[in-house]
Amino acid sequence: VQLQAYGGGLVQPGGSLRLSCAASENIFSVSTMGWYRRAPGKRSELVAAITSSGFITYADSGKGRFTISRDNAKNTVYLQMNGLKPEDTAVYYCNAPIRCLSGRYYSGDYWGQGTQVTVSS
Please, what is the end-to-end C-alpha distance for the chain in angstroms? 37
What percentage of the chain carries pLDDT values higher than 90? 80
Phi/psi for 88 (5° steps) reads: -85, -5
- Whether 21 has a pLDDT exceeding 90, the answer reads yes
- Whether 27 has a pLDDT exceeding 80, the answer reads no
DSSP 8-state code for residue 118: E
Contact 100, 108 (CB under 8 A): no
pLDDT bin (cut points 50, 70, 90) of residue 15 is very high
Render pLDDT for 57-92 as a digit per residue (tens, 0 to 9): 999 999 999 999 999 889 999 999 999 999 999 999
For residues 30-53, average pLDDT: 94
Q: What is the DSSP string of 27-88?
A: HHTTS-EEEEEE-TTS--EEEEEE-TT--EEE-TTTTTTEEEEEETTTTEEEEEE-S--GGG
- Distance of alpha carbon 93 from alpha carbon 82, whole angstroms: 18
